[in-house]
Amino acid sequence: MISWPQQLFINGEWTGSQSGRTWSVTNPANGKLLTEVALADASDVDRAVQAARNAFDRGEWPRMDPLLRGRLLYKLAEKIRENLEDLAMTDTLNVGKPIRDTRGFDIPCAADLFESYAGLPDKIAGKCFGTLPDNMTLQIREPLGVIAAIVPWNFPLTNAAIKLAPLLACGNTVVLKPSEVSPLSALMLAKLAHEVGFPPGVINVIHGTGAEAGAALVGHRGVDKITFTGRHQTGAQMLEAAKTGMKGVMLELGGKTPSIVFPDAPLENVVNGVITGIFYNLGQVCVAGSRLLVHESQHDDMMERILAKVKNLRQGDPTDPNIQLGCLATPAHCETVRRCVAQAEQEGARCVLTGKRPTDASDCFYPPTVFDHVTPGMTVAREEVFGPVLSVMTYRDEAEAIRIANDSEFGLMANIWTTDGARALRVARQVKAGRIAINGGGVLRANVPVYGYKLSGIGAELGFEEAVHEYCASKAVLYSFSTEKSPWPE
Ligand code: NAD
Cβ neighbors of 223 (< 8 A, separation 6 or more) are 49, 145, 146, 147, 148, 175, 217, 245, 247
Clarify whether residues 208 and 164 are in a common domain: yes
Clarify whether residues 246 and 271 are in a common domain: no
For the chain, the average pLDDT equals 96
SS (H, E, C) 382-442: HCCCCCCEEEEEEECCHHHHHHHHHCCCEECEEEEECCCHHHHHHHHHHCCCCEEEECCCC
CATH code assigned at 183: 3.40.605.10
Residue 450 lies in a domain: no
- The alpha carbon of 287 and the centre of ligand 1 are apart by a number of angstroms equal to 14
Clarify whether residues 240 and 290 are in a common domain: no
Clarify whether residues 262 and 244 are in a common domain: no
Q: Is 70 exceeded by the pLDDT of residue 270?
A: yes
Clarify whether residues 30 and 160 are in a common domain: yes
Asked if residue 229 has its Cβ within 6 Å of ligand 1, the reply is: yes
Q: In which band, very low, low, confident or very high, does the pLDDT at 242 lie, cut at 50, 70 and 90?
A: confident
Question: Do residues 178 and 207 lie in contact, with contact meaning Cβ atoms separated by under 8 Å?
Answer: yes
Clarify whether residues 37 and 126 are in a common domain: yes
Mutate to test the pocket of ligand 1, among 187, 220, 286 (most ligand atoms within 8 A of CB): 286
pLDDT of residue 356: 67
Residue 2 lies in a domain: no
Which letter, b or e, does each residue of 407-437 get, where b requires 16 or more Cβ atoms within 10 Å of its Cβ?
A: ebebbbbbbbbbeeeeebeebeeebebbbbb
Residue 451 lies in a domain: no
Q: How far apart are CA 94 and CA 110, in angstroms?
A: 17
Clarify whether residues 411 and 358 are in a common domain: yes
Asked if residue 286 has its Cβ within 6 Å of ligand 1, the reply is: yes
Q: Is 90 exceeded by the pLDDT of residue 193?
A: yes
β-pairing, 450-451 vs 435-438, is: unpaired
pLDDT of residue 360: 67
Counting from 1 in the atom list of ligand 1, the atom nearest the Cα of 162 is 40
| 200-231 confidence digits (pLDDT tens) | 999 999 999 999 999 999 999 999 999 999 99
Clarify whether residues 291 and 159 are in a common domain: no
Average pLDDT over residues 420-440: 97
Q: Is 70 exceeded by the pLDDT of residue 170?
A: yes
| 99-145 confidence digits (pLDDT tens) | 999 999 999 999 999 999 999 999 999 999 987 889 999 999 999 99
Clarify whether residues 190 and 331 are in a common domain: no
Question: Do residues 42 and 191 lie in contact, with contact meaning Cβ atoms separated by under 8 Å?
Answer: no
Helix (H) and strand (E) counts for the chain?
16, 24
Q: In this structure, which residue's CA is closest to atom 42 in ligand 1?
A: 286
Residue 1 lies in a domain: no
Q: In this structure, which residue's CA is closest to atom 20 in ligand 1?
A: 214
Structural domain that includes position 349: 258-438
407: left (phi over 0), alpha (psi -120 to 50) or beta: beta
Residue 481 lies in a domain: no
Active-site positions read: 252, 286
CATH code assigned at 384: 3.40.309.10
Clarify whether residues 205 and 307 are in a common domain: no
- The helix (H) or strand (E) run that includes residue 475 is strand 472-480
pLDDT of residue 442: 66
Number of domains the chain is built from: 2
The CA–CA distances, whole Å, from 430 to 241, 257, 404, 434, 451 equal 34, 15, 12, 12, 16
Q: Is 70 exceeded by the pLDDT of residue 358?
A: no
Clarify whether residues 231 and 316 are in a common domain: no
Q: In this structure, which residue's CA is closest to atom 38 in ligand 1?
A: 286
Residue 357 lies in a domain: yes
Clarify whether residues 405 and 322 are in a common domain: yes
Kindly state the DSSP code that residue 285 receives in the 8-state scheme.
S
pTM: 0.97
